């Protein structure tokens, strides 16, 4: 039986899965993210052993942390670029898997999670979908009819400039590039740096402030992508009351201009359904598609 | 010979063209935009006469002012929605052309112009392209491999929230929905309302202010669409020195985070090449595609 190898590569752990051709998981594990060479060696050894048990791997799907090149036509493909993670700039995850000599599909972790939620979670059946995570970083994947949208490379919604009222929020932001862009103001590290703790026990005013920044992204996504639905996930979004505030503030900011977003937004702005499984679900689907495309190319 | 009918529907004039199956214009005219019934009657009469001279029309392509429904699956398809233009809310441009009983393709004027520039102008051969017009309104069309991107409906970049420094720009904006969104601050009417004249004889400070707002959109488009190239057109962008300022300020705002945009942006942010012809060129292409799709559907 041909199997699919799937990787969700994160900054602290790698989730590895082997699935059958229909996408059902046969076996799964997680390994700690250490230096690239050690992590990659452990990863390939696991896949070799799992393939020996279940059947040869026909394709890989990989959802990875970044920034990472995702355009196969460009020289930085599959290579970590400006990541602050020590040792990882220049590392290539697919070089490590090259020995399997099978097709590989690579995308960002957030795009993989978006695909997972579209396939089997809160975005199921949506013609257009934006999936945003607000945690250590901020990222957004946008899908159109189940295909991940990207231009030259993946989107970088975390660095969107938002309005900050210095009287309400004197915090200058933590983004090393932009200071008070969205990620600089509303990511987990920004919240820690501003208040000395995470958002789980925050005051209503603190929740409202972070929700305001998230809603500014939501409004921008409505205007520049017109999704049917938006999923907001990540550690920051789990704070009590936050997503409800994002709904109210997004509607308020759009101010009636976009009819479909001028109503109770409980059905339009939703939390993820798959939780930690979204990324690996999407990675498996990427692998399945790579296998189908590859088989379609054969004479 | 089967011909293509093309319409560029604007708030002050309609451009009508008849083209051959390769897209070459056989005949063209422009009519004044009056009330819908009178405008539509003149339009259909012209197409009937032109078709009698050159050959029956096989498909129509229409690029229209808006807001207008562009999703054939929705009840507001081809219908003007919240337009402030008297008499036009609820008018349907394709109802008027239904008597020809041929396939029609409808999109916004800015998406048609984007397509025209991609096909034959400043966006030729670009895998990803964003075309923005800043004039009476502000709008953006984004193309991926020559296909217009849209979600539930067309994008509404004009209503993006931008940062406004009240000390530098105390003007509260003219947008009836949002006040000081991009369109409320940087559109032609906003400039007229703020300074009592258009931008053609503006001071360097005035140019720099409007360029700053345009650059905020440009940076947001880079982050949320990652286009290879951006075209900026429309009356406001013709002001001397404006596009040069937009280039400098876009790079400054992105602050080195996106490598491809951290260089001289003369090749990335460009004016349109087709001028007034972009919209009708795109509309003809839409009609050609509708004809091919329709013929492909025939047994």
- Encode pLDDT of A214-270 as tens digits: 999 999 999 999 999 999 999 999 999 999 999 999 999 999 999 899 999 999 999
At residue B83, does pLDDT exceed 80?
Answer: no
Interface test with A, best of B152, B214, B254 (most A CBs within 10 A): B152
* Number of residues written out for chain B: 299
- B79 three-state secondary structure: strand
Q: Mark residue B2 as left, alpha or beta (left: phi above 0; alpha: psi -120 to 50; beta: remaining).
A: beta
pLDDT digits (tens, 9 = 90+) for B16-25: 999 999 999 9
Contact A18, A25 (CB under 8 A): yes
Task: Give the β-pairing of A269-270 and A138-144.
Answer: unpaired
User: Cα dist. B74→A129, A219, B84, B152, B272 in Å?
Assistant: 18, 22, 22, 9, 32
Q: Please, which residues have CB within 8 angstroms of residue B198's CB and are 6 or more apart in sequence? A: B188, B191, B192, B235, B236, B239
Task: Output the pLDDT for position A72.
Answer: 84
Alpha carbons B192 and A53: distance in angstroms, whole number: 73
**Closest CA in chain B for residue A250:** B161
Instruction: Give Cα separations from A98 to A13, A101, A286 (angstroms).
Output: 21, 5, 17
Average per-residue pLDDT for chain B: 94
Q: Which of residues 154-213 of B touch A (CB under 8 A)?
A: 154-157, 159-161, 163, 177-178
Residues of chain B with Cβ-Cβ distance to A82 below 8 Å are 257, 259
Q: Do A160 and B226 touch (CB under 8 A)?
A: no
Structure tokens belonging to residue A11: 């900054």
Structural element, H or E, at residue A148: strand A147-148
Residue A159 and residue B221: Cβ atoms within 8 Å?
A: no
Asked if B31 has any chain A CB less than 8 Å from its own CB, the reply is no
Helix (H) or strand (E) holding B43: helix B36-54
Residues of B in contact with A226 (CB under 8 A): 150-156
Q: How much is the average pLDDT of B260-284?
A: 96
What would the mean pLDDT of B25-44 be, rounded to a whole number?
96
Q: What is the pLDDT of residue B11?
A: 87
Q: Write out pLDDT tens, residues B229-249.
A: 999 999 999 999 999 999 999
Give B244 to chain A, closest Cα distance, Å.
21
B127 at A interface, C-beta within 8 A: yes
Q: Residue B81: its pLDDT value, please?
A: 80
In this complex, do A152 and B260 lie within 8 Å of one another by their Cβ atoms? yes
- From the CA of B143, how many Å to the nearest CA of chain A? 9
Return the number of other C-beta atoms located less than 10 Å from residue B229's C-beta.
23
Q: In chain A, which residues have pLDDT < 50?
A: none
Chain A: residue whose CA lies nearest to B159: A223
What's this model's pTM, rounded to 2 decimal places? Answer: 0.94
Q: Burial of A25 by CB count in 10 Å (0-12 exposed, 13-18 middle, 19+ buried)?
A: middle
Nearest CA in chain A to B140: A224
């Amino acid at each position: 039986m041909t199997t699919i190898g799937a990787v969700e590569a994160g900054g602290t752990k790698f989730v590895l899965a082997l699935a059958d051709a229909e996408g059902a998981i046969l076996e799964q594990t997680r390994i700690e993210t250490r230096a690239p060479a050690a992590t990659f060696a452990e990863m390939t050894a696991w896949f070799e052993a799992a393939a020996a048990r279940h059947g040869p791997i026909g394709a890989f799907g990989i959802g990875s942390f970044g920034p990472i090149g995702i355009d196969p036509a460009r020289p930085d493909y599959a290579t970590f670029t400006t990541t602050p993670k020590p040792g990882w700039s220049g590392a290539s995850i697919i070089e490590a898997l090259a020995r399997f000599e099978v097709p590989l599909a690579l995308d960002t972790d957030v795009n993989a999670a978006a695909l997972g939620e579209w396939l089997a979670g809160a975005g199921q059946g949506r013609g257009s979908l934006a999936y945003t995570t607000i945690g250590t970083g901020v990222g957004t994947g946008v899908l159109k009819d189940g295909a991940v949208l990207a231009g030259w490379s993946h989107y970088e919604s975390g660095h969107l400039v938002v309005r900050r009222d210095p009287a309400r929020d004197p915090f200058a932001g933590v983004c090393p590039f932009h200071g008070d862009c969205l990620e600089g103001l509303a990511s987990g590290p920004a919240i820690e740096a501003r208040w000395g703790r995470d958002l789980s026990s925050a005051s209503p005013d603190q929740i409202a402030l972070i929700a305001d920044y998230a809603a500014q992204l939501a409004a921008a996504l409505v205007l520049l992508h017109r999704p049917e639905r938006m999923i907001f996930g990540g550690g920051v979004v789990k704070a009590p009351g936050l997503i409800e505030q994002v709904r109210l503030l997004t509607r308020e900011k759009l101010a009636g201009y976009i009819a479909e977003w001028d109503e109770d937004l409980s059905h339009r702005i939703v939390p993820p359904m798959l939780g930690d499984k979204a990324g690996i679900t999407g990675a498996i689907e990427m692998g399945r598609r790579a296998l189908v495309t590859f088989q379609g190319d054969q004479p």
